[in-house]
Structures are given as C-alpha cells and as structure tokens.
Structure 1
Amino acid sequence: MDTDENQLVGKYAKHNSPAWAKARGWRLTVYSNSLLLVMGAVFLASWWLQSVAGTVVYNAEQLEHGQPSVSWTGYVTSADFWDRTLQNWQSEFLAVGSMVTLSIYLRQRGSAESKPVGTPHEETATEAE
C-alpha cells in the first residue's frame, strides 16, 4: 500500500528527510512526483530542440536540391523527423544517466525504482524497520 507512513512523508518523515517530504499540500505533491515531472520536462525539451534543429537541417537540404522549405509543423509530421528521432540512441543514454542521477534527489511516489519520498538523500537503501 502506498501510504504516507510507507513513503516517510508528512508526520512520518524522519528528522533528516528532505524539507519538502515533511511539507503538506502542493509542495508534497510536487516533490512526490518530482522525478516524473523533471524527466517529462527533459524529454519534451530534448524532443523540441531536436525538432527545431532538424527543421533547420532539413530545410538546408531542401534548398540544396531546389525543393521548397517546410514549416516546423510540416517537419514534425514528416518521415524524416521520425526516422531521426527513433534512431537517436544518444538520447537513450542521456535518459538512463539522468534517471540514475536524478533519482538520488527526486522521488516518484509508489515507484519501485524510487526510494520512498521521505527517505533522506544520503540513504541509499531502505530497510524494514
């Protein structure tokens, strides 16, 4: 069960738990889902940056061949964009590395990959008490 006591938040937080794990309301909700929020933002930002850079490169190639340029929307709906996106293995390595690093400080309530929300940053493993 995903209870506040299991997650070590609110009144169940330890004395050395992160401050937002001790908080109530929106701050606890944000901190409890901080890993999802940050990784989602990183994904969307990298996808958007790749789409903008890809539009520039694609339009330069179009110009070289005497073809008309396309809008950002036109590029994002093109096969070229999706081919480049799905072939981009560097983003996979960045995502895994980010997840490992960010999971030290951020939490996702109820996730088996994340330690309980109220666990202190320096604690690397949780044991049944």
Structure 2
Amino acid sequence: MRKVLREQGLSIVFALLFVFALLGQSFAGLGVHNENQRAHGASPIGYWEFVTSSNFVVDVAENWQSEFLQFFVFILATIWLIQRGSPESKKPGDQGPGSDQDQLVGRFARSRSPAWAKVSGWRRVLYSNSLLLVMGGVFVVSWWLQSVSGVVVYNADQLAHGQKSVTWLGYVTSADFWDRTLQNWQSEFLAVGSMVTLSIFLRQRGSAESKPVGTPHAETSTEGE
C-alpha cells in the first residue's frame, strides 16, 4: 500500500481533491438553491433532489467542458506549435507527429511497449490519437449536458418571469448560453497561456512543470540535455 501511495500519489491526491471539491460544491449549491426557494416562497428541496437537478448538472458540466476543451486544444496545439524557452513545448524543429522511431511504434516498439503500439493499421492510429480523442469526447459530452440541463434551467426562469420558453436550438444560440460558456473558456485559455509563457522565465524547484532552476531562459524543453 505504501508503494502504491508513493508511486501513484499525484493521481490519488487529485482524485481526492476532486471528490471533496465536488461534494463541497453540492452542499454549498444546495444551500444557495434553498435560500432562493425560500426567498420566492417555495419549499426547500433535499440533497439527492438537488444533485440530480438541472441546476446542479449545468454548473458541473459547464466547468467540465471548459477544462477538457483547454486540454484538447493544448494537446492539439503542441503537436505543431512551439514556444521557445517553455518546458511545456517541444524543442524547435520537433514540430509534427514524429517518426515511428521517435514514437517507438511498429518495428521500433520495445518489449514493454503497449500492444497497440506494436501493430499497424487502425489500431495504431486509434491508440496514437487516443488521448486527444478522449479529451475531445469528454468535452463534447460535457458541452451537451450543459446545453440540455441549461435549457431546463433557462426555461424555468423564463416561465417564472412570465416569458416564453425556448427550444434547445434557441438556447444554444442565445446570449445567455454563450455568456456562461465563454466566461469559462477565456479563463482556461488565459491559464494555459500564462503557464506556457511564465515558465520561460520563472522556476519552481522540483516541479515537473518547470525547467531546472539554473536552465537558461531560451532553452526549450530538454534541448540542453
């Protein structure tokens, strides 16, 4: 158990942080929702009813889709684009998907390489792009959940104010939907851009996301090794 905790510590810690944060959001959200219910003369609801409601789902999905979009775009961009001096970038001249030898696929695969890296055809193509496909898939599903739950919440608010409800298409083309969506996207792109740029000049000793403290600013990735 101690070895597992030591070797898998990063994923375990972030999984626990995710669970605790999601639980905290659910209880805080329930409190806010029930305060609004009382303020409008309606009855408060229970925890399970809230976490299965569109109000909770839209907030969760709204954040998930922006996070996975961030990683999808970043993974795709770093195939072809570089940032000289950033540890988040490949070395200048290494743009592109790389050769089979660089990627250790086909006849260049090692004995411990994943099975689908050793074969050819659609399995290698699928596995070679599996990270991007999964990130993109989660983004699309989260975006769809946000839109479906969001239209329910939006229409409930419309009816409460004596206004007409809208269709799903009407909602995803509305200002309300894109206001909620783009305010998350811009913050994610700012965060990634800041990390890429600031890591050129700033350091964090011991972090895999930083170059060694004494590495020259212009040195990209591990080009000096």
Q: Return the alpha-carbon distance in structure 2 between the equivalents of residues 72 and 50 of structure 1.
A: 11
Corresponding position: 1:81 with 2:180: no
**Number of the residue aligned with 1:55:** 151
Q: Deviations over 1:73-110 (max 9, x none)?
A: 00000000011112347xx5xxx9xxxxxxxxxxxxxx
Alignment of 1:36-51 (within 5 A): 36-51=132-147
**Unmatched 5+ stretches in structure 1:** 97-129
Measured after TM superposition, the shift of residue 5 of structure 1 is 0.8
TM-score (norm 1): 0.67
Identical-pair percentage: 73
1:30 is aligned to 2:148: no
Find the aligned partners of 2:180 and 2:146 in 1 and give their Cα distance: 9
TM-score by length of structure 2 reads: 0.39
Whichever of the two has the greater Rg, that structure is: 2
Structure 2 residue ranges without an equivalent (≥5):
1-93, 193-225
What value does the CA root-mean-square deviation take over the aligned residues? Answer: 2.1
Query: Whose helix fraction is larger, Structure 1's or Structure 2's?
Result: 2
**Structure 1 counterpart of 2:112:** 16
2 CA distance for matches of 1:88 and 1:67? 27
Q: CA deviation at 1:64?
A: 0.2
Question: How far, CA to CA, are the matches of 2:159 and 2:119 in structure 1?
Answer: 56
| Aligned equivalents of 1:28, 1:22: Cα separation in 2 | 8
Q: Distance in 1 between matches of 2:119 and 2:135?
A: 22
